[in-house]
Amino acid sequence: MVTKTTNDTELVGSLVQLMHVLQDLYAETSRPLGLTPQQAHLICVLLGGPLGMTELSRIMSIERSSLTSMVDRLERRSLVARSAAPSDRRACLIALTDEGHTLAHQAHDAYTTRVEALIADLSPTHKSHVQAAITRILPQPA
């Protein structure tokens, strides 16, 4: 049996607060670009290259129907384009257009700049400790 300590409770509370701060930053940086945080997330994910709807749904942790609506809106804005998946004619790949690629980089840069400002005052040792702790917390790729 794992016993919770006051430090564990405080750490969990701090992590939840940090999550909210990062989500708020994402909203603040996507709004001036005319994007919802979810749309900004989607186009930033697509910076890695075209993906199918099933994989996008898994990565973003949203239902396919919600993803389809989001892709429809982004496609109407000419930020993404659908193309037939070479391995399955019934499936499609979602890719950034040139305009979408530019906006995705703007969204990514705006967000990372704000996060970098949050950690600017940490010493190199503190940054190293935070990075090590995050690495231990995050699931490792299979």
- Give tens-digit pLDDT for 86-112: 877 778 899 999 999 999 999 999 999
Residue 73 has pLDDT above 90, yes or no: yes
- Give tens-digit pLDDT for 115-131: 999 999 999 999 999 99
- Give tens-digit pLDDT for 10-48: 989 999 999 999 999 999 999 999 999 999 999 999 999
Residue 1 has pLDDT above 60, yes or no: no
Split at pLDDT 50, 70, 90, the class of 2 is low
Please report the pLDDT score of residue 122 as a whole number: 95
Please report the pLDDT score of residue 142 as a whole number: 67
Task: Give 49's DSSP letter.
Answer: -
Residue 141 has pLDDT above 80, yes or no: no
The label of the residue with tokens 């950034």 reads 96
Please report the pLDDT score of residue 6 as a whole number: 76
Please report the pLDDT score of residue 89 as a whole number: 74
Please report the pLDDT score of residue 3 as a whole number: 65
Please report the pLDDT score of residue 140 as a whole number: 80
With CA atoms as reference, report the closest residue to 99 among 25, 38, 36, 46.
46
Listing DSSP states for 6-21 in one string gives HHHHHHHHHHHHHHHH
CA distances from 23 to 36, 103, 107 (A): 11, 19, 14
